[in-house]
Amino acid sequence: MRTARKGSVEMPAFVRQLVKETEKRVSSFFKGSRGGAAEGEQLGKGEKEEVITSPYLDRPVLDKLTEEGCACWGITYALGSMQGWRANMEDFHNCVPQLGGQLTDWSFFAVFDGHAGSTVAQHCSQHLLGHILGTGIMGAEDNPEKVKGAIIEGFLQTDKHLHSVARREGWERGGTTVVATLISPYNIYFANCGDSRAILCRSGQVCFSTEDHKPYSPLEKERIESAGGSVTFQRINGSLAVSRALGDFSYKGAESRTPSQQMVSPEPELCVVERSVADEFLVLACDGVWDTISNEELCAFIHNRLRVCTDLRDVCTQVIDLCLYKGSLDNISIILLCFPGAPQLSAEALHQEAELEDLLESKVAEIYDELCARGEEPDLLSVLTVLASTVIPGLPPGGGIQSKRNCIISAYYQQRETHKPTVPTDLGGS
């Protein structure tokens, strides 16, 4: 079921304007750092002002890719992905709820967040699992050390194969972060390479999360500098914002150093968590999610949504919308995996959700009428501003007022339709 009672509405103009202003300031900064003319400075004869292609669109692409599935041993999953404000979609994914052969009761899921193009992310999404399984190290006995070894070797082989393909086909630029999970009957294996992230929620709390690989992290910075690089503006050589990734071969040319010792390492960080009957759900997501919401907030929000929504695709969609309304300017991708212990639909929670949406609609109507009575134009921004400063009980934990933005916007347009001036009917005669 869906909790939102109205259809989606175009993003408010003030959000688009905010992004344009942000983009303008960032572009101005980089123009100055590259020797461009300062504000108010005249360009010399024959000089041309540098044109910087914006990484953002004038309006976000709101179309969402969703899919869902299940495994015979009890897991259900859904994926949600959206291009958003970015000029291009560079996220890819891989969902394999049941591996074959001796690993029928195993599952593999991964999110690939590409940068400087989508080619590397797409290639890795198609080949990483094959390289992991192709090592021949894994077996049905679920030996954690062997499985970890297979995953690491699979990442390294993927990067090596990727490099040969890139040189052959001429697309050496670009890379991708990866966050993946391999689920066995007894363990959950987490592999993280970059700044995408995974969390495991158990008994309503975050019991595990991966660590982001950023250039300014002490161990990452030490490796970068040892390989001949530097960390400036929290980026490798002032440019790349992640310190581990597949691809990015211009950062992997240090001689006499292993692949894992390069400025950008393709080696993932591996963690193993023993499964528990208290496991509820697991999330894999790109940094377009984590830039706007914390681990604890997302755990609380999804826990709440699972009590009012049976469609996991809709839960993913609500997370995407929440991140968008909280200000995410990136591609947004999330995979949600639910274990048998996940929260179930609750009649009480459904009743509370309906009461909340009725309350929000009545608040919007009150604000609209009050603004009209004061002779002010009740535009959407004015209504949202007043509502944001109003205490609203019962908002979804971890989501707040932003998580009900679609309901609020729909209620606003309903009020605007209701307050449209009535055009007199011409009865004829004068």
**pLDDT 10s digits, 371-405:** 999 998 899 999 999 999 999 999 999 999 999 99
Decide if 332 contacts 320 (C-beta within 8 A).
yes
- Please report which confidence band the pLDDT of residue 51 belongs to, taking 50, 70 and 90 as the band edges: low
CATH 1.10.10.430 domain position(s) in the chain: 347-418
What are the Cα distances from residue 11, in Å, to 59, 61, 96, 197, 212? 8, 10, 34, 27, 30
**pLDDT, position 50:** 56
pLDDT tens digit sequence for 300-331:
999 999 999 999 999 999 999 999 999 999 99
Q: Tell me how far apart the alpha carbons of residues 382 and 221 are, in angstroms, rounded to a whole number.
A: 46
Token pair for 218: 């002490």
Q: Which of 22-31, 283-292, 364-373, 388-397 has the lowest mean pLDDT?
A: 22-31
| Torsion sign across C-alpha atoms 360, 366, 368, 374 | negative
Q: What is the mean pLDDT of the chain?
A: 88
Pick 335 or 13 by higher pLDDT.
335
pLDDT tens digit sequence for 181-195:
999 999 999 999 999
What are the E-state strand segments in 331-427? 332-338
**pLDDT, position 15:** 45
* CATH classification (class only), 347-418: mainly alpha
Find the mean pLDDT for residues 31-47. 40
Q: How many CA atoms lie within 13 A of 245 on its CB side?
A: 29
Report angle CA 170, 175, 176 to the nearest 5 degrees: 140
Residue linked to tokens 């086909």: 169
Report angle CA 77, 178, 334 to the nearest 5 degrees: 35
Find the mean pLDDT for residues 256-284. 97
- Please report which confidence band the pLDDT of residue 27 belongs to, taking 50, 70 and 90 as the band edges: very low
Concatenated DSSP letters of 41-53 = PPPPTT--PPP--
**pLDDT, position 113:** 98
- For the chain, how far is it from start to end, CA to CA, in angstroms? 55
Residue 24 has pLDDT above 70, yes or no: no
CATH 3.60.40.10 domain position(s) in the chain: 56-338
**pLDDT, position 103:** 93
Give burial (CB, 10 Å; 0-12/13-18/19+) of 30. exposed
> Which helix or strand (DSSP H or E) is residue 56 part of?
strand 56-70
**pLDDT, position 83:** 98
Find the mean pLDDT for residues 95-105. 93
CATH fold label, 56-338: Phosphatase 2c; domain 1 (3.60.40)
Q: Tell me how far apart the alpha carbons of residues 300 and 303 are, in angstroms, rounded to a whole number.
A: 5
pLDDT tens digit sequence for 139-189:
888 999 999 999 999 999 999 999 999 888 877 789 999 999 999 999 999
- Please report which confidence band the pLDDT of residue 23 belongs to, taking 50, 70 and 90 as the band edges: very low
